[in-house]
Structure 1
Amino acid sequence: MKYIKNTGKLMVAVALMLMVVLPSCKKDFFDIEDPQGIDSDIWKDEGAVGLYLNRTYALVIPQWPTLGGIHNTSDELNNANTALLYGTLNENSVTDIGTGNTITTNRYFDIRRCNLALEGLDTSTGVPASSKRILKGQFYFLRAYTYFRMVNLYGGVPLVLKAQEITNEGIPSVPRAKTSECIAAIARDLDSAAANLPAKWTANAGLGRITKAAAMAVKGKVLMYWASPQFNPTNIASRWEDAYVACKAAYDQSVTDGYGLLANYANIFTVEDNSEVMIVRKYSTSRDLGTNLENVTRPSSESSGGGGSNQPTWNLVQSYLKSNGMPIVNAVTDDTVIKYNANQFWLNRDPRFTASIVYNGALYPLSGKSDRKQWSYNGINDEGSINTGFYSKRFTVSSLSPSQALYNSNTGGGNGMDWIEMRFAEVILNYAECANETGRMTEAKDMVRKIRVRAGIVAGAYDYGLAIGSAIPAMRNLILNERQTEFALEGKRYFDLRRTRNLSLISARQSHRLTVKLPYVSGNLPATPVVGRIYLDAANTLGEKPRDTVNVNNAVTYSTVFTLPATVASIEGSNVISIPNNYYFYALPNFFSQNSFVIEQTIGWINGSFDPLQ
């Protein structure tokens, strides 16, 4: 965890160096209030440019998805933005492009940082040519990534490729460019990045930095977006062909450069800097550089307050395949060995299920307790609010105590887990999708098969479940569902559903709750226990609780202790999921649309006239 968590030690080292090289610099030299005031001497010193670059990475590379944020909302979790789900977003709801005129509240300040660097390095006489090349490659990538993140939300945006003075509250003085022009500019920048970046960085010095293959992978992703129904509702075939060529090239380059699938899916986020990581934001347990994700994801009984805030839904649980890659419900005659059990739904499932989902009675080691079981039945006395009946096993570290799991920005803590913005599995599935859409079915299946083999799915009688992908539409659905499983809880479902114009697939989020059956009783031990009843949550003198002796894998035991089937219910209350079509391209917030006479609002929103499909 050295880079953007990284910047602490590096900033101190470079700042000390700058006190010698640039004696007029202050501690906040690169964040000074005067946005025009970047000293041109910076481009004469490689160390100074490096510090400036580190800050740009910190501003551009995404952080952990916000729980309940708009862009992390689907039917996967109890945390969600209900304004999106219930169709009540307004023109000021999606403010990613900017809300102010500071470096942290306006993405055009990020664009300007990159433009200044690219122009400054072009004229620099103090930075060696070899270093200049690699530095420029990173700034090209960071500019492209900033534009891509805006375009996939709003469509075309003002395209500024030269450093301009900051005027009008930081709002560009040019109109919105056509989306096609923005996509072309992003692709050019990514080509320039790939041409200048190394295949690998040297040891710790390059942790968190962009490589050639990563730049190519993002280009493939950008062109896949441009080809997808969000931007391409008439299905222009040439866009898919362009995307296929780019995604295949990215895959080939990644393999050549040593990227690969990590053997154990469960370790993707817990083993740092593994072969699957392509774009990452580094974290640590240090103050100001950590995350509280561990504490909020854990159940309340193993957290320091605020636990249980990241609960998977029954919707997500049902999306997992069986262990042979077949859906739990399908129209194909299934083999007679692997069957789906609606009550003991965790049996015979895709191994990624066990690596991701914690159900009632599942083994869930935490706080150093290797044999710990997790319970979520109604009335349990030590778990606080249970919304869905499930917990997430991903993004937690079993060895941490509850106090260690808590992160505080003043003192540090938490698990320090890196956020992986892109991993090699995404490169594979992007390639698979483009291959399918261009009629290359064999290639598409070959790619998905790699993902399923790594997951531990068995071949069975249906080629890892790929047999049901008999034509482009069927394979399209298979790949979309594969992405949901492979990237479960990683915040990608929302973007996939927008990109494919499938927001209508988001249904009411559901819980799956179990009730204890007499003579078993949940909750605290009463003052006068009833003879013959077994109080599951009451510990004996050794601290042992009867619930921990229950084997939920035994069907007889399971049905003896709990009323079956469980109760499945919506957690939406009286609200109805209703996501309008204009959410495929959001409105520019008023800060942008009302402070410029040349920037049009998006069609479908108040006073909108800009067409994002051009």
Structure 2
Amino acid sequence: MKKNFKYIITCMLPIALLSTSCNKLLEVTPKYIYTTKQIYDNDLLADSVVLALYGKFATVQNDLSLNTGFSSDEFQPGINNFSEGLTFMYNYNLNPFSGSTNSYWETCYSVIGIANAMEEGVAQSTGMTQAGKNEVLGQAKFMRALNYYFLINLYGEVPLVLSSNYKEERIKPRMAIATIYDQIIKDLEDASQLLNAQYQGERVRANKWAAIALLSRMYLFTKEWEKAEQSASQVIAQQQLYRLGQFDSQDGTKAMDIFVKNNPEQILQLWNSLGSSIGGYTLSEFTSYAVTDDANGLLNAFESGDRRKDNYTNFQESTTSYIVYKYRTDGDNGMPNNEYTSLLRLSEQYLNRAEARLQLGQSTALDDINILRKRAGLTHISNNIPKQEALEAIIHERQVELCFEWADRWFTLKRLGIADAVMSKAKPGIWKSYAQLYPVPTTEIQNNRLLKQNPGYTN
């Protein structure tokens, strides 16, 4: 059945669902092959729209991790860097015409537009089963929430669009971030009730626990510590589905399996033909960027003996620098596609819960990061340390555990209000505080008179 679905999305729906323009990002109703009524006439066709939804979102998976790594303290230009765009990202020389940041606005709103159309299509359907409706609606709400999460953390306040009616939705003012978080949380809570607890095949589409896992992260952003703790605990408790993966064995007999497709540590992955995210084009001898290796960079954040350093990064002689090594498949020489891009994984839930428990004053808050430290070959940290020191330990563990993954480091620095302090040390003389938000694309401001540019940028 999965192959049939992939054939449908490959041959039938890209034109109908993914063909957009800068002026009509939200106009996603199929026009060429199927009408909306036909698309939602049965579960099979409606489910193919879910694949279109994920396919559109997958187009940002490489650049998002890479560009935000340059924005934060994870990446620096490599000796083979010939990309002016990457240099601009590193030095914060961005403008409203920058393709590297403009694409996120367009892609996220395209995904949101598809999700909105799905919600409306399901509501009008008379041929779908209730189970089919729940699945499509749950996926739509999950992906809408995820894309608004990226939009507000990249651009700040953005328009809140909840309808596919282009004429009505094309001109909207920027909405307060708190209001958008309310919508994100509502969507995820709804998705957690609509989606199945079990996976329907591979772990490449959200289930109930993926929605709850993302909720645990959102509750950190809204400082709802009890809910963050409860959500993370619910996911961690699903031991029949989730457990931590392994690092490379010391004797070389076993390779790290954390990012292998359908590994039990993975809560949600993105299917892709290459089988890797940013690792897919960091293994080349011509890699144009490197892991930061100065005193305040990521490489030196790994403690002595931390196995994550050798499992997540790798020294490359041809570039005399360290590269991303979380993904090992580079797509060359017919290598098997045994990796999918990690979107949500169990280790984050331990980090989320540790932070929430610390903020709640629970005495066992650091037990969760000690689970990750044990896997990494490090000693435990005592719970009997001051709260600020404990928070710094959690932030540090998040930095080295979730490096290169979906802007987590960049968003964490901003969420905790420490971006200025950290980045002014990491990039003295280069850091610009206003760069915490990317510029709103000029084309969007031209098309919507209610949009205003972010501070520090000129249209």
Is the shorter-chain TM-score for this pair beyond 0.5, marking a shared fold? yes
| Partner-residue secondary structure (3-state), 2:63 | coil
Q: Does 1:497 align with 2:418?
A: no
| 2:146 corresponds to 1:145 | yes
**Secondary structure at the counterpart of residue 451 of structure 2:** coil
- Contact 1:208/1:279, CA 8 A, preserved across alignment: yes
- Residue number among 287, 296, 301 corresponding to 1:319 in the alignment: 301
Name whichever structure is richer in helix by fraction.
2
Q: CA deviation at 1:405?
A: 4.8
Q: Residues 372-423 of structure 1: CA distance to partner in whole angstroms, max 9, x if unpaired?
A: xx7x4xxxxxx3x42x3x45543225xxxxxx8538xxxx768563110121
Opposite residue 143 of structure 2, the aligned amino acid is L
**Aligned with 1:273 (options 247, 262, 265):** 262
| Residues 302 and 400 in structure 2, CA contact (< 8 A), matched pair in contact too | yes
Amino acid at match of 1:406: D
Q: Deviations over 1:259-297 (max 9, x none)?
A: 434241342445321111112111234xxx776834632
Residue 73 of structure 2 aligns to which amino acid in structure 1? D
Match of 1:188 among 178, 186, 197: 186
Query: Distance between the aligned counterparts of 1:132 and 1:602, measured in 2?
Result: 39
* Corresponding position of 2:341: 419
Structure whose CA Rg is larger: 1
Q: Report the Cα offset of residue 124 of structure 1.
A: 1.1
TM-score after normalising by structure 1: 0.62
Paired AA for residue 355 in structure 1: N
Aligned length: 428
Report matched runs for 1:540-579 at 5 Å: 577-579=429-431
Q: Does 1:449 align with 2:370?
A: yes
Q: Report if aligned partners of 1:351, 1:456 keep a CA contact under 8 Å in 2.
A: yes
Any idea what the Cα deviations from partners look like across 1:125-150, whole Å, max 9, x if unmatched? 10011221122111111111111110
Deviation at 1:481, TM superposition (A): 0.8
Aligned to 1:394: 326
Counterpart-to-counterpart distance in 2, 1:354 and 1:508: 25
The answer for the alignment partner of 2:128 in structure 1 is: 127
Q: Which residue of the partner structure matches residue 112 of structure 2?
A: 111
Cα deviation, residue 248, structure 1: 2.4
Give the direction of change, closer, same or farther, for the CA distance of 1:247–1:478 in structure 2 (3 Å limit). same
| Deviation (angstroms), 1:121 | 0.8
Aligned to 1:488: 403
TM-score (norm 2): 0.81
Within 5 A, what are the aligned runs for 1:68-467?
69-73=66-70, 74-79=72-77, 81-93=86-98, 94-98=101-105, 105-165=106-166, 172-202=170-200, 204=201, 206-226=202-222, 240=223, 242-256=224-238, 258-266=240-248, 267-285=256-274, 293-294=279-280, 296-298=282-284, 300=285, 306-307=286-287, 309-311=289-291, 313-314=293-294, 315-322=297-304, 349-358=305-314, 376=317, 383=318, 385-386=319-320, 388=321, 390-396=322-328, 405-406=331-332, 417-440=339-362, 442-458=363-379, 464-466=380-382
Residue number in structure 2 paired with 1:472: 387
Could you report, residue by residue, the CA deviation over 1:553-602 in whole angstroms, capped at 9, with x for unpaired residues? Answer: xxxxxxxxxxxxxxxxxxxxxx9542222223333121112322222333
Q: Is the 8 A contact 1:144 1:186 kept in 2?
A: yes
Match of 1:28 in 2: 15
Which residue is 2:56 aligned to? Answer: 59
Percent identity, aligned pairs only, is 21
Q: Given that residues 56 and 107 in structure 2 are in contact (C-alpha distance below 8 angstroms), is that contact kept between their aligned partners in structure 1? A: no
Q: Deviations over 1:27-84 (max 9, x none)?
A: 8343467845343221112111111110001112565433994312233333484434
Query: In the aligned structure 1, how far is the partner of 2:149 from the partner of 2:65?
Result: 22
Per the alignment, residue 401 of structure 1 pairs with none
Q: Which of 12, 19, 40 is the aligned partner of 2:7?
A: 12
Corresponding residue for residue 563 of structure 1? none
Instruction: Assess if the C-alpha contact under 8 Å between 2:302 and 2:309 holds in 1.
Output: yes
Q: Structure 1, unaligned stretches of length 5 or more?
A: 17-24, 99-104, 227-239, 301-305, 323-348, 360-373, 377-382, 398-403, 459-463, 510-574, 608-614
Question: Aligned partners of 1:433, 1:209: CA distance in 2, in Å?
Answer: 27
| 1:508 Cα deviation from its structure 2 partner | 7.6
SS of match in other structure, 2:310: helix
Cα 1:492/1:46, change in 2 over 3 Å? same
Once residues 18 and 456 of structure 2 are traced to their aligned partners in structure 1, the CA distance between those partners, rounded to angstroms, is 37
**8 Å contact 2:260–2:340 — kept in the other structure?**
no
| Alignment partners' CA distance in 2, 1:601 and 1:48 | 40
SS at the partner of 1:148? helix
Pick closer, same or farther for the CA change 1:261–1:601 going to 2, 3 Å. Answer: same
User: For the residues of structure 1 that align with 2:47 and 2:118, how far apart are their CA atoms?
Assistant: 10
Pick closer, same or farther for the CA change 1:311–1:67 going to 2, 3 Å: farther
Say if 2:220 and 2:356, in contact at 8 Å, map to a contact too: yes
Structure 2 gap segments, 5+ residues each: 21-26, 79-85, 249-255
CA contact (8 A) 1:156 1:176 kept: yes
From 488, 501, 506, the counterpart of 2:423: 506
Provide the C-alpha distance between the structure 2 equivalents of 1:67 and 1:145, rounded to a whole number of angstroms: 13
Q: Name 1:339's counterpart in structure 2.
A: none
Q: Structure 1 counterpart of 2:63, which letter?
A: T
1:180–1:604 Cα change, 3 Å = farther
Q: Is the 1:262–1:268 Cα contact (8 Å) retained in structure 2?
A: no
Task: Report if the CA contact (8 A) 1:144-1:189 is conserved.
Answer: yes
Pair 1:50-2:47 in alignment? yes
Residue 310 of structure 1 and its aligned partner are, at CA, apart by 4.3
Kindly tell me: are residues 84 and 129 of structure 1, through their superposed partners in 2, closer, same or farther at Cα, counting changes over 3 Å?
A: same
Deviations, residues 103-134 of structure 1 (Å, cap 9, x unaligned): xx453332221111111111211001122112
